């Protein structure tokens, strides 16, 4: 008679079943996980566009995050820079730009001292327009500066 394989290979018979079935069990768990993932994919496809899965909700979450703290001020300032021509008009916007915003002070840089003087007269109207259109951007003061050294050349390239 031939001795059992476990005896011939010097294997512990109490551990043999566990080793064999452990591999089978792991494989079964892996297949189960794959089936579960496939089921979740199918559910996601079926539920796409249904109430409660609207992608605009992500936009609302991002708006909430952006509305808190420093982001809000930076976003409002970016809006002001991007729509500067709507605040001062295209003619003035061609000769001026928002330079800085720090500590509630908005600094506007003008192409020349003549444009800086013109913008200085417009400060009350600018304040009213900015407060009306960009609620949440607290501007305590508006300063208008003339060109920096070499600044006029930059304006010539911008046109």
Please give the CATH superfamily to which domain 69-145 belongs.
DnaA, N-terminal domain (3.30.300.180)
* CA–CA dist 20, 15 (Å, integer): 9
- Number of other residues whose CB lies within 10 A of the CB of residue 126: 19
pLDDT at 56: 59
Domain boundaries defined on the chain: 13-47, 69-145
Give the pLDDT confidence of 117-156 residue by residue, as tens digits: 999 998 999 888 888 887 777 888 999 998 875 544 455 4
Q: Look-up: residue for tokens 């730009």? A: 97
Q: In this structure, what is the dihedral angle of CA atoms 150, 152, 153, 154, given to the nearest 10 degrees?
A: 100
pLDDT at 53: 61
pTM score, whole prediction: 0.52
pLDDT at 159: 46
Residue 88 burial (C-beta neighbours within 10 Å; 0-12, 13-18, 19+): buried
Give the pLDDT confidence of 4-59 residue by residue, as tens digits: 777 777 777 777 677 777 888 888 888 888 888 888 888 877 877 666 665 556 66
What is the token pair recorded at 141?
Answer: 């003061």
pLDDT at 107: 92
Q: How far is CA 62 from CA 57, 58, 75, in A?
A: 9, 6, 12
pLDDT at 79: 86
| Dihedral pair phi/psi, residue 106, rounded to 5° | -95, 125
Give the pLDDT confidence of 77-125 residue by residue, as tens digits: 888 899 889 888 899 899 999 998 888 899 999 999 999 999 999 899 9
* CA–CA dist 99, 48 (Å, integer): 45
Assess whether pLDDT exceeds 90 at residue 73: no
* CA–CA dist 87, 81 (Å, integer): 10
Q: Look-up: residue for tokens 């089921």? A: 39
């Amino acid at each position: 008679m031939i001795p059992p394989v476990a005896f011939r290979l010097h294997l512990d018979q109490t551990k043999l079943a566990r080793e064999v079935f452990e591999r089978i069990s792991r494989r079964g768990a892996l297949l189960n996980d794959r089936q579960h993932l496939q089921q979740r994919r199918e559910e996601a496809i079926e539920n796409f566009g249904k109430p409660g899965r609207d992608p605009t909700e992500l936009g609302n979450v991002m708006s909430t995050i952006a509305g808190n703290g420093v982001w809000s001020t930076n976003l409002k300032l970016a809006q002001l820079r991007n729509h500067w021509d709507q605040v001062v008009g295209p003619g003035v916007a061609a000769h001026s730009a928002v330079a800085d915003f720090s500590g509630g002070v908005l600094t506007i840089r003008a192409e020349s001292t003549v444009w800086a003087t013109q913008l200085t007269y417009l400060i009350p109207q600018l304040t009213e327009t900015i407060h009306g259109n960009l609620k949440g951007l607290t501007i305590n003061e508006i300063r208008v500066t003339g060109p920096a050294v070499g600044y006029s050349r930059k304006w010539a390239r911008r046109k």
